Amino acid sequence: MTDHSTEPKGLAVPRGRLARAGRMGGLASGLVGRAALGGMAELVQGRKPRLSDLMLTPANVTRVADQLAQMRGAAMKMGQLLSMEAGDVLPPELSHILARLRADADFMPPRQLKQVLVEAYGADFLKQFQHFDVRPIAAASIGQVHRARDRNGRELAIKVQYPGVRESIDSDVSNVATLIRLSGMLPRHMDMAPLMAEARRQLHEEADYGREAHYLTRFGTVLADDGRFAVPAVVSDMTTPQVLAMTYLPGDPIESVADAPQDVRDRVVAALVDLTLAELFQFRMMQTDPNFANYRYDAETGRIILLDFGATREFGSSLSEGYRTLLRVGLSKDTPAIQRQMEVIGFIRPGLRPEHLAMILEMAELGFTPLRDPAGFDFKGNDLADRLRRRGMAIGNEQELWHIPPADTLFLQRKLAGLYLLATRIGGRVDLRRMVGRYL
């Protein structure tokens, strides 16, 4: 019997700043009220409770996770950013909420979907389609994607933005940050301001479908002659501020490659690694969202299908060259130079105590290990990710080491971490030293 309790479901997206702020206000007051009652009960029994213990009850955690997921937009994006940056220093209860926010979003019910399509295409929008599948094939923080066939017979993927998300970004971010602060879920000394600013910026960018169409076209152009990849084409005559229309490219989940022969797995992982290196050092333009759902695999052609360019960032030469230098000194095992370059990039801050600096440099040494092996690196069954996670947890326990890098560094690190997890899931063997060397 299948458990459907955590599967995405059709839930209307709260529309408008007042409606969304009301949801957040009601959630916050509900948490405070329940915490006050719980605190009184504890005091009556002679115990002095901590605020976080009162807030983070199982019922409250579930309520927060479900409400933020239903909000979509900024709520989900804040969860993704927090999980990316704070990671191992967060309490298990907040990790549970973030896991819910990283999962597939609930989708709009048909009635609300129809309203959005009417606003985008007019009341007779169905005349533009031979077929439109109401059930989405994907749903995320900003919008959901539907398969369709237009009146000319073109197979399309139609990305529909949730109503009200774009107009409510700034207030959403502030409300979510207030809720998280109020709950006591974050470490006391963690500064949320940079995360809030970055959440606002990225949400505004991802909600700009004209911008995403621009990068979709640019990636299609730079990869046009690379037979390893396929990128959907923008269908301009059906794209509006609320709807991004693209050609539909059939494919299977990228994780399905894990069941393919070893040579196929090796080829796919090598292609993904090479693409990331090219994005950083050649294009200086990177799709920074490492969600596995942004990659598909066409077994018939052997091509990797690239999707979702809303999180694309362009990097300046200083970041690109900074990482090129970091890789050079890392491959040469020059520890003092590694330290200096990590400070230049902003990955660590200067002036750390020797014992804390040693912890970070030990973790960096682990990270460089796969790049130094002349025999190549086998991602399958490798415990490097677990060792890095344990080191990360140890670093997270040291408040002096809590540090938010510059946004570009942060998102680049997220992409690299996601690439490593995907390569591990597929189980490819790659000569990373040779591949990296081509760009140095």
The region that residue 16 occupies, defined by phi over 0 for left and psi between -120 and 50 for alpha, beta otherwise, is: left
What residue segments make up the domains of the chain, in order of their start? 17-105+169-186, 109-161+208-249, 251-440
Phi first, then psi: give them for residue 285, nearest 5 degrees: -155, 120
On the question of pLDDT at 77 being above 90, the answer is: no
> CB of 245 within 8 A of CB of 235?
yes
- Cα gap 30→245, rounded to integer Å: 41
Specify the pLDDT at position 369: 86
Q: Taking residues 320-326, what's their average pLDDT?
A: 95
- 265-274 residue pLDDT tens: 999 999 999 9
| Confidence at residue 66, expressed as pLDDT on a 0 to 100 scale | 62
- Which residue of the set 150, 172, 274, 289 is catalytic? 289
In the structure encoding, which two tokens stand for residue 54, read together? 């009162």
The pLDDT value recorded for residue 142 is 82
| For residue 398, pLDDT beyond 70 | no
Residue 76 tokens read as 């989900």
CATH number listed for the domain at residues 109-161+208-249: 3.30.200.20
Cα dihedral 423→429→431→435 (10° resolution): -40
pTM for the full model? 0.78
Residue whose C-alpha is closest to residue 110's, from 20, 9, 207: 9
Q: CA 363, CA 221: separation in Å to the nearest integer?
A: 38
Round to whole Å and give the CA distance between 385 and 86. 17
User: What are 168-215's pLDDT values in tens digits?
Assistant: 788 777 776 776 666 555 555 566 677 678 778 888 898 999 999 999
Percent of the chain whose pLDDT exceeds 70: 68
Question: What pLDDT was estimated at residue 408?
Answer: 87
- Which helix (H) or strand (E) segment holds residue 378: the answer is strand 377-378
Our answer to whether residue 373 is catalytic in this structure is: no
Q: Cβ neighbours of residue 262 under 8 Å, at least 6 residues apart? A: 429
- Beta-bridge partner residues of 215: none
Helix, strand or coil for residue 321? Answer: helix
> What are the pLDDT digits (tens) for 332-368?
989 999 999 988 988 887 877 888 788 888 888 888 8
List, for residues 206-253, the tens digit of each pLDDT value: 899 999 999 999 999 999 999 999 999 999 999 999 999 999 999 999
Whole-number pLDDT of residue 169: 80
* E strand map for 137-287: 138-139, 143-150, 155-161, 229-230, 243-247, 252-253, 285-287
